Structure 1
Amino acid sequence: MVTYKITNLSPLHIGGGSPGGLLDQPTFKLDGRPAIPGSTIKGKVRSLFEAEVRREVERRMRAQSPQEVARKLKKVLKEALAEVDRIIGGDLQVHFCNIAPDPDTEPYAYYPLICDAASQLHCNPPHSANDFGDDRSETIRLITSYILLRRSGQRQYCIACTYFGGNGHPSPLIFTPATAVGEVKTAVATRLSIDRFTGAAKQERLFTLEYVPPYTEFVGHVHKAEELSDYVNETQIDQFLKHVVPALLRRIRTIGKHKSVGFGQVEVKPEGAGQSDEDVREFVWAEVERRLAEACNADLSELAAALRRVKEVEQNVDSIVGVVAKYRRRVMEMLL
């Protein structure tokens, strides 16, 4: 378990509760005490971890920008589908533009290392190898998913979702709320919203804001969930919790609302030494290499079984699987 202390260096407001009495915007409390929700801390730590993965991937790529990698990946997918078309005498490639994201979008550059919930490159796809049907678009999704180093629809998660959870995947780490230490009296400020176009006060936008005074101390914890999913490596979770989480907690600088006017500046001090930034980078890259290698070498029997249910390609399954194996190797080499 990791225990950490948060000290707010400026007024702190965490939205929570319903307006009532003289307060339009009360701050979040637990049992009447100011607190910071565990979900807020978890979101901050996850965001920092995803940024670290992206930064380390970009650093290792050196000459390649995310946009360049994105274009190359889409080119590889088009070439793969063209080869499949030659095998089956079909036109799968024609439908590719309707389901693939724009080639300049960043998610392509990081998938499957970091998923993107706003696109088809996410960790809980609508179609897996177990439940997709006889449809061209679904067939393309399945083939491109495997080429992009997904092993099978519902059993593989990106690095961030593995440690922080995702759709259909509970988090192996529990972030408890950080509650205020000692007697803490909140304060109330009266604020006024300004119309950005007229520069004048907005009508009926005078409001009262409850906040926690500076230099209040909060204490929270991060611990491993009692029950872990079968596909989670408990040893890796332990190492992540012991070494990486403290280092990420120390990087948190702001929390809560109204940061643009100086609210929410914080200092976070986890117990224990944690790891250095260089150690965190090495952990991230080792995880990246392991994930890509596992995905690239994963068995393709589930893909073959799914394709045999599609009349259009059922006679050429072995050849298509060979194409997938070849192009996913190219994707791994491109990412590494």
Structure 2
Amino acid sequence: MEDRKRDHIDLAFSSRLEGKQVDNRFEYEPLFGTHSKVKQEYDFAGRKMRLPLWVSSMTGGTKRAGTINKNLAQACAEFGLGMGLGSCRILLDSPEHFNDFNVRPIMGEHAPLFANIGICQLESMLTEGSSDKLGELVNKLDADGLIIHINPLQEAFQPEGDQQKRPATDLIQDFLELTKLKIIVKEVGQGFGKESLRHLLQLPIEAIEFAAMGGTNFSLVELNRSNAIAAEVFNPFIHVGHTAEEMTLTINELLSELPEQNICVKQLIISGGISSLLDGYYLTSIAKLPAFYGMGSAFLRHAMGDYEKLRTYIEKIEQGWSLANNFLKVKQP
């Protein structure tokens, strides 16, 4: 106790919050909660999650990526998270990388897992009549379904990028008519506008993942790989998009506009710029569809080395989620 009190004296002045803004999204109600762990269960694609936390698609196809994916998969098994793999395109051409993506044996049978392919690769496969290979890929990975990522700006700025010939709306619709796979549609760092969300809500898909502005922006990633002239000309595009909060409110608005029978999407993964668990807690609370929150780079930062670092990070998220549930009341916008 004496050491703790000495710390209080030493740290009192450096711990003042002068000039720092209060987080006005919440009412803090310290009288009514306890420090007990909140035990909840969430349904996603026929699997169970213990935290509404999604490991957003990141990487695969290298030895380093294999280590990252296995650490993340272990965390999903231990804490009851869901996971989207990085683009599995390389597996269609180079099966030798399969072990980098083969995480179901680590995750176990309860956690949801989705494979991932880009819209341009889907277009090529539809044109060739080979889209059935995607079902084979999902089965081989023992995944629950397939993420289709929409990335026209990333492809445009990528030196090796593919050129999309048909609108993503047509391609997704065509594929849905050919497959029984559970589908998630996501962007890659700039989110979706209102009309795109309106269209997606009416498709028979499992979820929309935002991948909104504010997180890792893969258009910027590609511009950073480009030559100086391309970066100069295209740089303004990276500032175009929609934040996770904007998209959450837009979907709430669309749910009141669209006939109830037209809403087919079952849930949302709110990702992109989610920098803290309180961001996730707030947005999943105000969403009018069942919602999970996703993070990518935050997990990546802790998953690149020893598993214990990642484990400690998620333990603290789990503790923080209980604190938020027990002591915070969300103010509705």
TM bucket by the smaller chain? under 0.3
Q: Which has the larger radius of gyration?
A: 1
Calculate the TM-score normalised by the size of structure 2.
0.26
Name the structure where helix makes up a greater proportion of residues.
2
Calculate the TM-score normalised by the size of structure 1.
0.26
